[in-house]
């Protein structure tokens, strides 16, 4: 019997993989429904996905159906985007990103006056980085010897000089591009795992490869449909769910888990997987246990401030994903990671799912998810910061879109680092667990198996291989494989 704490995307992935291997699986979820950060809200005729909005690597979700020989298309559908994102700069520059590689090279080089050969070289170098590192970092445990004893690892070590591990992403980009706007464009990908392009290593330029090579997708019915379909699959396959049942302690005997105590009862288990953030797992559920303090002290990723606005107008120049860049980009990251405050001129991300799901907004309207990156929750005066940011965002969007946005807002909901921390118990409200602001970050994440407790495993954004939907799904897979190696069925 396996008990899983939390039904985030990683918890569901682990549950499905383990069920497929023949284990009995029970999930305890503190909330009334599954999904964690992938939740949704509806307000005055507008529906909003609460957390993630960018969907990449859908094949990882499909695999979860395929292992049960179910056709994913019968339960879960998505469309591939022809255009990745619309970008806006304050000087009036606009760029719509073609998904197709050759078109991208042509259009990007023309708009930003870059050498097309350099752009092509950059994309190819990113691909090499991905090919060399994905089998080691994204698909395996870094804490098993066999990961290092294979040809792929030897190959990666031999080409380590191509990985740009030893300089920040921003400096890597300068090797290819001259225009500050090109640098900004490719720096932004550091924020996909909550890091700073001025600190995270150049290897992170493999992130645009995920977007540009594998594509970006929109799940029919919105991001929430990923969770709904996986939950239904888990139910069909016999995973047991206990909602509104918070786990309050992981009970140990001789450094082995014997049971989970919840708000309702105590249940014996042979094996436990925590999908909860690793910091509160130790601090709240393993009180008195000797926690791996060095690992837990890793800098956390950025958090976010999001305004969910019901807008009573449609905007032709906007697509599903839209970015309005800051004029003080470096300062924005200093604010997030050093000053722990919000920038006066933040980069603004606007996601509009009603572009593809018209029922997400009343006719003639759009559901705007307006997000800026934010520091974690260190007890700042959030009410004041939110009020200031709302005005700054309204002003900037108003100028660039030529509209009085405030007058168009019919309904508002706000989610800030405090709320993100409270809802999913993510330490400091981090979106992606630990930040990748140093070159050793990938090795310093908490492993998928406890080093001290022989039958305790971990999955989710705060452990290896990291945050974001694709990596979380992979973490559930890696944890299930480790369990199957240690306790074969
Ligand atoms: C605003 C925002 C935007 C994002 N944008 C993107 C994006 O565009 N693309 C992308 O790929 N990723 C994005 N992410 C990151 C992504 O959402 C996360 O990496 C991922 O969803 C984390 O999943 P998880 O399985 O680790 O856990 P979580 O989603 O954090 O779920 C953990 C679950 O555990 C439950 N739990 C916690 N403690 C207990 C307990 N004691 N007992 C029982 N249950 C418990 C919680 O209630 C929760 O349901 C974003 C996140 C946010 C918040």
- The CATH number that applies at residue 229 is 3.50.50.60
| Residue 124 lies in domain | 103-212
Same domain membership, residue 146 and residue 107: yes
Assess whether 114 and 191 both reside in one domain.
yes
469 lines ligand 1 (CB under 6 A): yes
Residue 183 domain-assigned (yes or no): yes
Out of 154, 187, 212, a domain closes at 212
Tell me if 237 is assigned to some domain: yes
State the pLDDT at residue 202.
87
Are residues 119 and 173 both part of a single domain?
yes
Predicted confidence (pLDDT) at residue 438 exceeds the cutoff of 90 = no
474 close to 482: Cβ distance less than 8 angstroms: no
Task: Verify that 111 and 186 share a domain, yes or no.
Answer: yes
Residue 165 scores a pLDDT above 90: no
Q: Which of 157, 192, 212 is the last residue of a domain?
A: 212
Ligand 1 geometric centre to CA of 210 (Å): 21
Question: In terms of domains, do 293 and 439 share one?
Answer: yes
440 in the same domain as 294: yes
Question: Is 236 a domain residue?
Answer: yes
Which of the four pLDDT bands, split at 50, 70 and 90, describes residue 203? confident
Same domain, 140 and 241: no
Average pLDDT over residues 437-462: 91
Query: Mean pLDDT throughout 373-390?
Result: 98
Mean pLDDT of all residues in 77-91: 97
For residue 440, how far is its CA from the centre of ligand 1 (angstroms)? 24
Q: Is residue 467 lining ligand 1, measured as CB closer than 6 Å?
A: yes
Tell me which of 33, 41, 52 to substitute to probe ligand 1's pocket, judged by most ligand atoms within 8 Å of the beta carbon.
52
Q: 35 and 6 in contact (C-beta within 8 Å)?
A: no
User: Do the domain assignments include residue 315?
Assistant: no
Same-domain pairing of 137 and 207 = yes
Which residues make beta-bridge pairs with 201? Answer: 168
pLDDT at 5: 98
Residue 141 is assigned to a structural domain of this protein? yes
Residue 206 sits in the same domain as residue 272:
no
Residue of 36, 58, 321, 423 to mutate, ligand 1, most atoms within 8 A of C-beta: 36
Stretch 85-107: mean pLDDT, rounded?
Answer: 96
Predicted confidence band at 67 (pLDDT cuts at 50, 70, 90)?
Answer: very high
Residue 274 placed within a domain: yes
Residue 408 lies in a domain: no
**Domain boundary, last residue among 183, 212, 241:** 212
Q: Is the pLDDT of residue 479 over 90?
A: yes
Q: 403 lies in a domain? A: no
Residue 142: what pLDDT?
62
With a 6 A CB cut-off, is 304 part of the ligand 1 pocket?
yes
Does ligand 1 come within 6 angstroms of the Cβ of 29?
yes
Q: The whole model's pTM is what? A: 0.95
397 vs 404: CA distance, rounded Å: 9
Q: Within this chain, do residues 443 and 472 fall inside the same structural domain, yes or no?
A: yes
CA distance 467 to 464: 8
431 lines ligand 1 (CB under 6 A): yes
Residues 117 and 261 in one domain: no
Mean pLDDT computed over every residue of the chain: 94
The percentage of the chain sitting over the pLDDT mark of 70, rounded to a whole number, equals 95
Give the chain's domain count: 2
**Alpha carbon of 191 to ligand 1 centroid (Å):** 16
**Do 184 and 257 belong together in one domain?**
no
Judge contact between 370 and 392, C-beta under 8 A.
no
Residue (of 92, 337, 30, 20) closest to 191 by Cα position: 337
């Amino acid at each position: 019997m396996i008990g899983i704490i939390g039904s985030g995307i990683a918890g569901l992935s682990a549950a499905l993989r383990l069920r497929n291997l023949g284990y009995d699986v029970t999930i305890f979820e503190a909330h009334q429904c599954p999904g964690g950060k992938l939740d949704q809200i509806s307000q005055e005729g507008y529906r909003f996905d609460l957390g993630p909005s960018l969907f990449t690597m859908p094949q990882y979700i499909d695999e979860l159906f395929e292992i049960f020989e179910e056709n994913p298309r019968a339960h879960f559908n998505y469309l591939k985007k022809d255009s990745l994102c619309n970008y806006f700069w304050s000087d009036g520059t606009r760029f719509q990103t073609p998904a197709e590689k050759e078109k991208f090279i042509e259009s990007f080089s023309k708009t930003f006056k870059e050498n097309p050969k350099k752009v092509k070289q950059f994309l190819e170098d990113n691909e090499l980085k991905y090919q060399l590192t994905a089998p080691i970092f994204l698909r395996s445990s870094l804490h098993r010897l066999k990961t290092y004893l294979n040809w792929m690892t030897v190959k990666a070590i031999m080409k380590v000089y191509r990985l740009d591990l030893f300089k920040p992403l921003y400096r890597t980009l300068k090797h290819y591009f001259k225009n500050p706007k090109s640098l900004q464009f490719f720096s932004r990908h550091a924020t996909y795992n909550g890091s700073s392009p001025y600190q995270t290593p150049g290897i992170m330029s493999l992130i645009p490869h995920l977007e540009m090579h594998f594509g970006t997708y929109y799940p029919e019915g919105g991001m929430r449909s990923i969770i709904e379909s996986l939950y239904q699959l888990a139910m069909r396959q016999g995973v047991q769910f206990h909602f509104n049942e918070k786990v309050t302690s992981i009970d140990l005997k001789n450094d082995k888990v014997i049971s989970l105590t919840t708000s309702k009862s105590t249940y014996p288990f042979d094996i436990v997987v925590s999908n909860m953030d690793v910091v509160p797992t130790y601090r709240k559920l393993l009180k008195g246990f000797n926690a791996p303090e060095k690992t837990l002290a890793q800098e956390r990723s950025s958090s976010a401030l999001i305004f969910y606005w019901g807008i009573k107008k449609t905007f032709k120049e906007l697509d599903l994903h839209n970015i309005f860049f800051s004029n003080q980009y470096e300062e924005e990251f200093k604010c997030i990671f050093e000053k722990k405050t919000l920038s006066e001129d933040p980069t603004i991300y606007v996601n509009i799912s009603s572009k593809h799901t018209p029922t997400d907004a009343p006719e003639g309207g759009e559901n705007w998810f307006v997000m800026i990156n934010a520091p974690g929750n260190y007890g700042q005066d959030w009410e004041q910061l939110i009020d200031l940011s709302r005005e700054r965002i309204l002003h900037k969007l108003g100028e660039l879109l030529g509209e009085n946005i405030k007058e168009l807002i019919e309904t508002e909901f706000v989610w800030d680092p405090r709320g993100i921390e409270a809802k999913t118990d993510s330490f400091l409200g981090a979106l992606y667990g630990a930040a990748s602001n140093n070159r050793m970050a990938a090795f310093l994440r908490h492993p998928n198996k406890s080093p001290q407790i022989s039958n305790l495993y971990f999955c989710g954004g705060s452990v290896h291989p990291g945050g974001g939907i694709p990596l979380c799904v992979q973490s559930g897979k890696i944890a299930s494989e480790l369990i199957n190696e240690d306790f074969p069925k």
